[in-house]
Structure 1
């Protein structure tokens, strides 16, 4: 959409500028701002005990009777062979490994149920596991979009902009990873700029590169410069987000990257990306069983490398349009699957990453928010501990949207309030509010109302709750257009968190030296 068309649409009523959109007041909802959420509502147990046992038994059969294929990483195969896996050579550089029921669960017993990922600002460190919930931006889109310039390939400027927007939001807790692909930088070098950008423009925890083992090592080395080698060896300061190659394959690039993070004592997320009918059964119970098998085996590798290192179970369940073969996101069935995965993760006593703010809509519109809410609520209700894709996901993950990023972070703020639950005590029951003036009298000026009016409800930064007439007189501005004004104002007001100049110089020197050591590669 051209800038002219966008401006005409958003100011259609009175010709007033989009900047008239409401902005958040300073310190809005400060009572909800936390480095991570400690949920006060219980997760929802959807699946019966009998059905959970059946899912686990099917996952065991997948691992024992079908097995997992490993490619181009004999060291990983040797680790699983030594642990008791049954290895069958398929080709010179691929192996099938089968695991007796209970073997992988036994290996996973050393994985922590909860751990800290340290941020360079200690006040921003996050807890992952237990009742802790962490929201992070969307991840992996090659395109970006906004109402002014439309859809285009992402650049390093876009990447940095989204880091700045995330850093500016009190409703995200984690800087994320590959928020969008900076396609203007060579493939073999962009990881250096991405990690350096996370460090410079955010003081939160972040994800490192996983696209090649040497890039994983570079990401960890940058953290050693930032935190100090001894601190990194003793603490989790970075994580990698690893996908299995479904169905039932772990390739060498992935397993070598997993071993790099685990060997350095760093965390990792292990995520099958299951598209029903394509790489997993159409039926959700079967997809969940496959997901459980794949993520458990992938997590188990970390414990063979370094017992006790953080590992996060992952679940990315998606449906498909059977008429076209296109993936569909934000639909009901995968949301139910996320609830089941939450129960299974709790039975394993391990942290979980699942769901997020998913949509296949091409615009930040009603479809986007309806699908996103369906998926995001499944993450919240499932008991997920790390929620990647909490903001910006559009176009089936092909595009990061500036406007949807702002709409989604506002929703994340509301979810902070939702997960606080309901406090019931003499103060919150509010009997005095009714008694002060008696029947038939309003409560606007009562002492109880005056004590609680700033904190009783979540105060959205983007919703327009004015009367229709007022909204119309101010230009009839829709939610996407308010979000458009909001992200621009947020970037204009952004200030980078302080970073020691000596550390910043050492980080830049490392990046420059690594880039100079190799020619550009664009594929």
Structure 2
């Protein structure tokens, strides 16, 4: 609930935040949250125990023989040296089995608190959280075409994510607001997440001081005491694959970990460029890089909530172009789901609705659906890039966003499973209708028609004649009308004016203290 000051009132403590990972008994659902989605279909177990052990052995070999470089971050290297790792110049080498041992203090699941606790989510276990795309410098729509993203676009996508029942997370850098200086835009982005939405969100990571600003803004809204004891935000830490953490990423990681906020470690491997071409090698290297980042978070603060992430795909070995939704990348997604579960931490998928297509066309939806199926079947707990992604991540598409929302809703209906109860079996309906009769007017149908089937927002075009009379609009044209209608109907979630004023004052002070930096 919200206190009179507009800050989240602390709930009961979540197991597993400190002092080791939380293990749940069968049938123990733990804390619940309205924003959470529970998986009722099992994850795909692609690899047997022998193959998984071989991948873990390869990852361990990479960490012990090759090592990971932490460039420019003496404090990170000091922490590893104090833990018994071999540190030579900027390279850190682990002892055999040491990385997994250090990672063991990370919680198996934890609550990510939202400004409105009704939208808090649980990461880990059988919980599933979907969020929009991340990091695109461009946006596109049918009216204005492809262009550099602005803060208006960023705010629009935050609003669309808030309105959708199929996204449980507001995202992070949904698109880059290039009309604001690089060193200041994180303030406007976090402000948008905190005021235009009340779902979980991600903060700035492009410099340690920007990470600190993000956490300070969260403290203003949630209260410093609550933030000290609970995860209210996430930071996306990209590995500079192959096998490098730069000072920016490891520095931001340490800031989030010190504050007890969620660290998402995301290796980014394109086979043939940042790693070998084979799916097995990509999976093993991803596992090594992810464990190195998770280990650093645990050395900073044992029990720090983490997410085991990845962003992997293939590339055309003929042209060098990036490819998405390929069977090889999907196999890696399935394998990483198993490796993350064996490590005992929540897993972020390497997929989502991703594509190399330049428009929201047939290729875009085929690529996206292929990647999303593998992601859902992998058992991932958090799915990034679930809506909007185009052009290999360079562009967020307005039409693609709402087309993807329909797919998200269908996927969530699927993972929720099928209820088999006297009410769903409905023997009464057979007594009402009988042989040779339809069931449209039965009590059961009239009571359940609105919820029995997933209803997409844009997919149904009606019979041919109606569709032709209506202008023969394709899905992209119907999506154009859909996102405009959603924005027209947007209403912001309530926030205490005093809190919003304090946020504005903080942003004004921080911006006044720094010059504009556009690069």
Check the 8 A contact 2:387/2:400 in 1, yes or no.
yes
Q: Distance in 2 between matches of 1:309 and 1:449?
A: 49
**Unaligned residue ranges in structure 1 (runs of 5+):** 1-32, 90-94
Q: CA deviation at 1:420?
A: 1.0
Q: Could you tell which deviates more after superposition, 423-432 or 492-501?
A: 423-432
**1:335-376 deviations in Å (ceiling 9; x for gaps):** 111111111111111100011110111111111111111111
How far apart are 1:388 and its partner, in Å? 1.0
Which fold has the larger relative contact order, with Cα–Cα distance below 8 Å and residues 6 or more apart in sequence? 1
1:387 matches 2:387: no
- Asked if residue 112 in structure 1 is aligned to residue 110 in structure 2, the reply is no
SS of residue in 1 equivalent to 2:282: helix
Q: Does 1:175 align with 2:174?
A: no
Look up the match of 2:234: 239
Contact 2:34 2:120 in 1 (8 A): no
1:58 is matched with which residue?
58
Per the normalisation by structure 1, the TM-score is 0.91
Q: Is 1:438–2:434 an aligned residue pair? A: yes
Tell me the secondary structure at the aligned position of residue 150 of structure 1.
coil
- Determine the C-alpha separation between the residues in 1 that align with 2:270 and 2:401: 25
Tell me the residue number matched to 2:10: none
2-structure distance, mates of 1:459, 1:49: 40
Cα distance in 2 for residues equivalent to 1:34 and 1:229:
24
- Provide Cα deviations, 1:37-77, integer angstroms capped at 9, x if missing partner: 11111111111111111111111111111111111011100
Pairs within 5 Å for 1:16-165: 34-89=34-89, 95-165=90-160
Instruction: Give, in whole Å, the separation in 2 of the partners of 1:459 and 1:207.
Output: 30
- The match for 1:457 is 453
Q: 1:34 to 1:380 in 2, by over 3 A?
A: farther
The unaligned stretches of length 5 or more in structure 2 are 1-32
Shift in Å, 1:81:
0.8
Match of 2:265, SS?
strand
Alignment correspondent of 1:224: 219
1:294 aligned onto 2:289: yes
TM-score scaled by structure 2?
0.92
Among candidates 493, 496, 506, match of residue 497 of structure 1: 493
Deviations 1:425-473 (A, max 9, x none): 3332344434543332222223332333222210111112521112112
The question of whether the paired residues in 1 share the 8 Å contact of 2:170 and 2:199 is answered with yes
User: Alpha-carbon deviations, 1:148-186, whole Å to 9, x = none?
Assistant: 111000000110011111111111111101010000000
Give the corresponding residue for 2:254.
259
Tell me the secondary structure at the aligned position of residue 463 of structure 1: coil
Aligned residues: 486
> How far does residue 35 in structure 1 lie from its aligned partner after superposition?
0.8
Residues 298-317 of structure 1 deviation map (CA, whole Å, 9 limit, x = unaligned): 01111001111101101211
Q: Report the Cα distance in structure 2 between the residues aligned to 1:439 and 1:124, rounded to whole angstroms.
A: 46
